[in-house]
Amino acid sequence: MRIAIPTFLFAAALAASPALGEEPSEEMRQGASIIARVEALLAKDDLKGFCAAVHKFPAYAGYASRACQAGVKANVRQAEECTEARIALQVAADHEECVAMPPEAFAQRKQDFGEGRARFLQDLAARGVDGEKLIAEERAKLR
What is the pLDDT at residue 8? 56
User: What single-letter amino acid sits at 132?
Assistant: E
Tell me, what's the pLDDT at 59?
Answer: 81
Q: What is the pLDDT of residues 115-125, one digit of tens each?
A: 999 999 999 99
- Across residues 60-80, what is the average pLDDT? 92
Asked whether residue 57 carries a pLDDT value surpassing 80, the answer given is: yes
The full set of domain ranges for the chain reads: 5-142
How high is the pLDDT of residue 143?
81
What does pLDDT average to over the chain? 86
Which band of pLDDT confidence, cut at 50, 70 and 90, is reported for residue 106? very high
* Beta strand ranges found along the chain (DSSP E): none
- Of the two residues 19 and 43, the one the predictor is more confident about is 43
- CB-based contact 8:63 (threshold 8 Å): yes
| Whether pLDDT at 16 is above 50 | no
Amino acid at 22: E
pLDDT tens string 82-97: 999 999 999 999 999 9
Contact 4, 60 (CB under 8 A): no
pLDDT of residue 19: 54
Q: Is there a contact between 25 and 15 (Cβ–Cβ < 8 Å)? A: yes
pLDDT of residue 4: 56
From the number of C-beta atoms within 10 Å of its C-beta (0-12, 13-18, 19+), residue 81 rates as middle
